[in-house]
Amino acid sequence: MKPVAIFRHTATEGPGYFTEFLHERSIPWQLIRIDAGDAVPQDAGVYSGLVFMGGPMSVNDDLPWIAQALALIRNAVALDVPVLGHCLGGQMMAKALGGIVTRNPVKEIGWGETIVSDNVQAHAWFGGIRSFEAFHWHGETFSLPQGAVHLLSSAHCINQAFVLGKHLALQCHVEMTAEMIRNWCAVGADEIAAASNSPAVQSAKTMQSQMVDKLPQLHSAARQLYQRWVAGLVS
């Protein structure tokens, strides 16, 4: 089987729980470290799927690899190679497929309830899950590309996920592990402090104290989504 390509855009925002999921199912994968200077491939057809992780940059920034990644996403969709995006990755998918990425009304950092949309596609992707506590860390949001179906929303961000065929874009983070949350809180301490007046921003202490209770539910939702997504991988 061809490997799943996982694109990392900054050292602290790796694939986390997603690679645990792949290992459990013996699905091969390859990490492409954009942050370390790895080149963006031009042909999505050499992979069984493409996965884009998060990052502190904006998809609207003038970085040379962003245009290349957007072109690769369009290539994957044309070849029916499934694409999965987390946060920045979801925003990249939206922009590549005709949506726009703009500033969200407020910054979201920390745990927050997300509500599954009441439509056939959302129920197919989420199964019996109707809501769950997701992890958030973003200041921008995407619009839905033409033909996409809305999957998920939160009180502070209307578009938390969409699906377009076998392609899944997430604004929230379902890939989190305890280690990742601790690292993000350390690296993002200044950002948390600067946005502390936002109603959707938690303190580092609160985020970490809630991990024990909320990570199992998050991973349950992630497994549900990932299982449906990997069913579309090309051999």
Domains and CATH numbers, the chain: 4-230 (3.40.50.880)
Q: Which residues contact 129 (CB under 8 A, 6 or more apart)?
A: 116, 220, 221, 224
Strands 131-142 and 101-116: antiparallel
Strands 167-170 and 157-164: antiparallel
The pLDDT tens digits of the residues spanning 151-210 come to 999 999 999 999 999 999 999 999 999 999 999 999 999 999 999 999 999 999 999 999
HEC-encoded secondary structure of the chain:
CCCEEEEECCCCCCCCHHHHHHHHCCCCEEEEEHHHCCCCCCCHHHCCEEEECCCCCCCCCCCHHHHHHHHHHHHHHHHCCCEEEECHHHHHHHHHCCCCEEEEEEEEEEEEEEEECCCHHHHHHHCCCCEEEEEEEEEEEECCCCCCEEEEEECCEEEEEEEECCEEEECCECCCCHHHHHHHHHHCHHHHHHCCCCCCECCHHHHHHCHHHHHHHHHHHHHHHHHHHHCCCCC
The pLDDT tens digits of the residues spanning 3-22 come to 999 999 999 999 999 999 99
- What pLDDT shows up at residue 211? 97
The pLDDT tens digits of the residues spanning 60-90 come to 999 999 999 999 999 999 999 999 999 999 9
Strands 83-86 and 49-52: parallel
- Identify whether the C-beta of residue 1 lies closer than 8 Å to the C-beta of residue 49: no
**pTM: predicted TM-score of the whole model, two decimal places:** 0.98
- What pLDDT shows up at residue 68? 98
Radius of gyration of the chain (CA): 16
Q: For tokens 């992707």, name the residue.
A: 125
For the cut 90, the answer to whether the pLDDT of residue 235 exceeds it is: no
Strands 4-8 and 29-33: parallel
Cα separation of 184 and 199, whole Å? Answer: 19
Q: Round to the nearest angstrom and report the end-to-end CA distance of the chain.
A: 5
